[in-house]
Amino acid sequence: MAAKQSGQGGAVIFETGVDFAVWSHHAGQIELCLFDDDDKEFTRLPMARDDDHVHRLFVDGLKQGARYGFRADGIYAPDNGLWFDPAKLLVDPYAKELDRPFRYDPLLGVFGEETRHLVPKAIVTRDTPVTPQKPLFKPGGFIYEVAVRPFTMLHPDVPEAQRGTVSALAHPAVVSHLKRIGVDAIELMPITAWIDERHLPPLGLHNGWGYNPIAFMALDPRLVPGGMAELRDTVARLHAEGIGVILDLVFNHTGESDRYGSTLSLRGLDNLCFYRHAQHRPGELINDTGTGNTVACDHPYIRQLIIDSLRHFVLGAGIDGFRFDLAPVLGRTANGFEGHGETLTAILADDVLADRVMIAEPWDIGPGGYQLGNFPAPFLEWNDRVRDDLRCYWRGDAYKTGPLATALAGSSDIFSRNGGAATRSVNFLAAHDGFTLKDLVSYSGKHNEANGEENRDGHNENHSWNNGVEGDTRYPDIIARRRDDVEALLSTLFVTRGSVMLTAGDEGGRSQRGNNNAYCQDNDITWVDWSTLDDELITHTAFVSALRKRFSVFSQATFLSGDGDVAWIAPSGQPMTVSDWETPDFATLGMVLSTTDNNSRKTVRIAVLFNRSEVAQTFSLPGPLPAAWRQLTATGEKKAAAQTTVPPRSVSFYLEN
């Protein structure tokens, strides 16, 4: 067996065999285990450690498709952070394909119990590189958040065998819907291999979101049965339609969880190096994620594993960019969060990744975990301040006119820090985590009883309202009010400066029956029922999305300053006064913007009028009389008078002739 180099990990195919490598500082011995097609382990081969703690082995004659895993022997002393157990088959952290999904079993966490029959085997694969094109998504565009399985499980036009998979996203009926509402990029919730949390199987529940990964590169066979070829083909088809693809990835924790969890990969290879531990207490795992463990993203091995994983998806499938779950963990060191730390800096400096779209969820639950505005440019950031301020404005909370305007103008209070001259905000009203947009206006409180935790899980403060009845109702007036509220919320979102994000199905009034933590509901609670979506709401979403594309002012990144780019007006048509801004229950606001009309290539003015009150409001449109304004609606344009009426609980749009 001749030695060949394959970096710090993985399996590399050569003409005469396969080179395996895996890193571990503390293991006494690592063995390579090979399996036949009947899942029988037919050999174990000791690996040799080099000076960099990479354990290597070249296997002559081995070919593509071989199935393998590792075993690591050494000291088993969890109180000292050491979890070596040769009875545990371990998945290669660099595995690029697995032969089956992960399934939780209590034996996975019991010392000395053999697990080869429980653990997926990695498959030796040959990379098929693509030439990545420039990302199709540009900051300021429209991101559509998609959970792959729920999005297509009930789609009537998608063949049953294809439903719930990545390939379904390229089906003509799905693409037609994405183009109808003007999606610039879909953001796929995790599609890498994950495992259920250990409390779910006894409840008959399964993790349907994927935020509990084991392998960072390997695609989950349940969602991507065709592997990288399926992802690559889907990305190519979406790109051909002008739609980018962003992957939501989880590097902050793994499904090995706390000390009572499973030993499946990183824990068994070198727990002490790969996870964060309390200072001077190596047996105590840090839990900055709320899921039991925190990955040590500042460790050189993990840093390189993250970089290599991102490169894998760009070079192997042409992915446009990435959204990072609980992203402060990427910048955490023993001293706290470092926005310009080595791992974040390395991601932005990599030659393959430098032009990709990078999006941070800028919070975790650890010390100093709220880092909105503190990620390095060009990172975009999920902006929960905009989410809450827009919700509270339309709920009718006092003193919300100013926060509304700040959100519309690009959140300069957040992103101008450290000399920032442009917004990096991803504005949203609802995401996978929390109420759907319809539930936001239909429930005053969460209803997570189906999750089996007696409604203790999920956020308690949702800034929601129910319009008079909690949950489903047959009262036509309440149904109408809820629909109006959703339409107003959508209108507001799409005229904010920054990128905008909508979760799949919210454009048509999808409900999760008040469940605001539906990660474990892989059923009709989360599956989008296309037959019940409100087509008028979808049409309205398409309308406001088209306005955003037509008028350049909405997608520009610079902050609105009031220096000729925007005028804030009261219903009188006059500029807002200090008194107006400070009125607690001020219910109407006008935003008049100078912009390029991309249809005519002319500079024009567009007026966006907000009325959150319960009665119609008369607005005087600005400009010399007779005013020459046209109202823009989903059904077309119509001439407007100098004084116009904005219906209650609505947003109206006017274009100056």
Q: Which token pair is 96?
A: 């690029």
Could you say which of 41, 145, 308, 325 is catalytic? 325
Question: Shortest CA distance to 33 belongs to which of 110, 112, 119, 97?
Answer: 119
Contacts of 324 (CB under 8 A, 6+ apart): 249, 251, 252, 330, 358, 359, 360, 361
Please give the DSSP secondary-structure letter assigned to residue 6. B
- 3-state DSSP: the chain helix, strand, coil percent, rounded to 5? 25, 25, 50
Q: How far apart are CA 305 and CA 295, in angstroms?
A: 12
Helix (H, G, I), strand (E, B) or coil at 639: strand
Q: How far apart are CA 18 and CA 62, in angstroms?
A: 6
Q: How far apart are CA 66 and CA 558, in angstroms?
A: 53
Could you say which of 361, 364, 485, 507 is catalytic? 361
Q: Could you tell me the end-to-end alpha-carbon distance of the chain, in angstroms, rounded to an integer?
A: 78
Known catalytic residue: 320? no
- Residue spans of alpha helices (H) in 399-475: 401-408, 412-415, 437-440
Known catalytic residue: 361? yes
Region of 481 (left: φ > 0; alpha: ψ -120 to 50; beta: rest) is alpha
Using alpha carbons only, what angle is made at residue 116 by residues 112 and 122, rounded to the nearest 5 degrees? 130
**Side-chain half-sphere exposure of 357, counting CA atoms within 13 A:** 32
Q: How far apart are CA 568 and CA 99, in angstroms?
A: 59
Give a three-class secondary structure readout of 559-575.
Answer: CCCCCCCEEEECCCCCE
Contacts of 454 (CB under 8 A, 6+ apart): none
Quick one: which H or E segment has residue 578?
helix 578-582
Question: Shortest CA distance to 150 belongs to which of 520, 542, 538?
Answer: 520
Contacts of 226 (CB under 8 A, 6+ apart): 165, 166, 167, 233
Give the CA distances from residue 203 to residues 189, 222, 450, 512, in Å, rounded to whole numbers and listed in that order.
24, 21, 10, 19
Give the CA distances from residue 211 to residues 196, 204, 492, in Å, rounded to whole numbers and listed in that order.
9, 18, 30
Q: Which token pair is 361?
A: 């969820």
Q: How far apart are CA 309 and CA 190, in angstroms?
A: 13
Quick one: which H or E segment has residue 142?
strand 142-146
Q: How far apart are CA 73 and CA 589, in angstroms?
A: 67
Q: Which residues carry out catalysis?
A: 325, 361
